[in-house]
Amino acid sequence: MSDKILYSYTGLFDTPDEIIHAAGKTADEGYKKFDINTPYPVHGMDDAMKLKPSRLGYFALVFGLSGTFATVLLMTWMTAFDYPIVIGGKPFFAFPAFVPIIFEVTVLAASVATVLTMLFVFFKFPNNSHPLHDTDYMKAVTSEKYGISIQAEDELFNEEKVKNFLQALGAKNITPVYFDNEELNVKHAVFEPKFISLLAVVFILVSGATYITLNKLMFITPFNWMMEQSKTIVQESNVLFADGFGMRNPVAGTVPRDQIPYKYKGDPEGAGENLANPLIPSKEVFALGEVKYNTYCSPCHGFHAEGDSRLRGQFPNPPSMHSEKVRNWSDGRLFHVITEGQNIMPAYSSQLSREERWAVVLYIRALQRSLNAKESDLQ
């Protein structure tokens, strides 16, 4: 036992009132280096132990203020010097806009610094052992007892006197606590091979899990039957067909609805022989023909089909439709000229529907007979 170094004398109490009383007495007695261990924070303990306010606040203040200062500098430099951009007409040094970030960084710096200060300055990290660890005393005070531990470091410490003092206070289980020689010899537990290999395992696991999460898990599509179905997208190549085109030509011989293909392309004689006017002449049909003729034909052919163009030489005048030739043409032959055009006269198949073209043909017939009436017209 003689080779062991005494750390402290400990004693246990049953109630918070007793421990407060004991702490007060110990402080009054003049002991400075003693500690109280309770399962939960006991109100009024700081006062009873005559503790000075913690110095941690000063560290927090200093680090917090340096965070404030650094943020102001950083943002001023960025927005006013390095990359000056006018945002919403505000000045480059727009302090109100800086406030939220200054606040955040101040809080961040203060809190991180507080934790680090606690670890490195107060707990002397990487030291991770304490003589009270793994003692029956510590087991008791972390569940239901209230304990006091007077350290041998204290100037007033005297083994017999402290024992008697604790007894007088009514403490139970008064026991000495010794430094653990093994732990004393270990200077930096963090550099132990055991600890290093633990770190290595954690590193491998964490980086592996991170890699898998970021590169694999996040790219698994939960279900792909709607977003990734094969379909044709405009202006994009397509895998559905061998030629890579999404748009298909209609099957050969397809006839669009309501559009019967014109059979007599480039064949005016065929059209003249085979096409017959399907319309039965009526007031409505003539009215339709008149409207369409006046709109589409009269600018060149004149209102009476005499070839008296209103275009004043901007387009060659067409011949009169009252000529013997055109009068003797069949309806189909006229229909063909409107549908396909003739020499410099353009086609009118896209402006006029089939029915409208036939109506125009009937109207032209009426115009022709107004100048060259037949005997039968008078009856």
Residues that bind ligand HEC (CB under 6 A): 296-297, 299-301, 315-316, 318-319, 321, 323, 325-326, 334, 337-338, 342-345, 348, 360
The nearest distance, CB 304 to ligand HEC, in angstroms, is 13
Omega within 30 of 0 (cis) for the link into 176: no
Closest residue by Cα to residue 121 from 65, 59, 50: 59
The nearest distance, CB 227 to ligand HEC, in angstroms, is 52
Closest residue by Cα to residue 140 from 9, 21, 10, 12: 12
Contacts of residue 232, defined as CB under 8 A and 6 or more positions apart, other chains included, come to: 238, 240, 246, 247
Residue 257 has which token pair? 């609805």
The nearest distance, CB 326 to ligand HEC, in angstroms, is 5
Cβ atoms within 10 A of the Cβ of 18, count?
16
Cβ atoms within 10 A of the Cβ of 301, count?
23
The nearest distance, CB 336 to ligand HEC, in angstroms, is 9
Euclidean distance between the first and the last CA atom of the chain, given in angstroms as a whole number: 151
Q: Residue 367 in contact with residue 301, Cβ under 8 Å? A: no
Decide whether 180 or 340 has the Cβ nearer to ligand HEC: 340
Decide whether 64 or 318 has the Cβ nearer to ligand HEC: 318
Omega within 30 of 0 (cis) for the link into 268: no
Decide whether 169 or 297 has the Cβ nearer to ligand HEC: 297
Decide whether 197 or 342 has the Cβ nearer to ligand HEC: 342
The nearest distance, CB 363 to ligand HEC, in angstroms, is 9
The nearest distance, CB 325 to ligand HEC, in angstroms, is 6
Decide whether 147 or 289 has the Cβ nearer to ligand HEC: 289
Decide whether 323 or 372 has the Cβ nearer to ligand HEC: 323
